[in-house]
Amino acid sequence: MPHDLKPGDVALMGVPLDLHSSFLQGPAFAPGRIREALHSGAANLTAEDGTDLGASAKFRDTGDLDVFEMRGQEPIDRIEAEAAKRIATGARLLSLGGDHSVAYPLIKAHADRYEGLSILHIDSHPDLYDTQDIGPLGHGCPFARVMETCPVKRLVQVGIRTMNAHQREQADKFGVEVIDMRNWRPDLQISFDGPVYLSLDLDALDPAFAPGVSHHEPGGLSTREVIDLIHRFKGQLVGADIVELNPHRDPYGMTAMVAAKFVKEIGARLLNG
């Protein structure tokens, strides 16, 4: 049993991979920076609902994966296998990327575990490219791979503001429900029946709130809007990832602290069912 995880635990797992980034390297350093912010002493470990992650024996940090440990093995395969080991214990997994390519193996592991899994994807990009110059596993492709290979019930995307013709065709092909920023409103109600996986790309936020990302897309969500969405969407949250922090572009660790805030709020929801 990995790290002696038990049913009801929440396992934090770092996935330091930016091999599939199309523009800038740097997200591989994100898990360590998020942990530094989380434990910096600048804030405590209590979520807004009063859940103290620091006082809970069920909030377990399982460290970072060595994504290149198995020579000759595609890192994506290793990520899926290690995620599957953790969730097989009955624990719920909160993963820290890394670029967004890591979402594909993480979701694949969850879809194999949870029948009827839906996905809430918060992002400025739909990440539905069939392929990129760096190949079909690029960080702009994970949700095309998910919809092709995983038994997913629904994919709902929030915050999108870079939808081009190809990705619109892909969204229509796969039946993706897209709530782009033009149609976003803070009181929007999003509901799911059954288990839900949350994939949160930090560039969903306007760069004013999260400048430490590789792709700055103005006109995005505020930190408060994302927190409120984490709190209020209806459905059983069973796993999540937070991706695309690029510490090379993060002045004063601002975006790392935003990510640490999301760890607390998502972690509390995973702990409390």
Contact predicate 246/201, CB 8 Å? no
Please provide the average confidence, as pLDDT, over all residues in the chain.
94
CA distances from 159 to 125, 155, 156, 178 (A): 8, 13, 10, 8
Look at residue 203 and give its three-state secondary structure. helix
**Is 219 a residue whose pLDDT tops 90?**
yes
The structure's pTM equals 0.96
Contact predicate 167/126, CB 8 Å? yes
Contact predicate 97/27, CB 8 Å? yes
Q: 221-272, pLDDT tens digit by residue?
A: 999 999 999 999 999 999 999 999 999 999 899 999 999 999 999 999 999 9
Q: Name the class of domain 2-271.
A: alpha beta
Whole-angstrom distance, CA of residue 204 vs CA of residue 258:
12
pLDDT at 19: 80
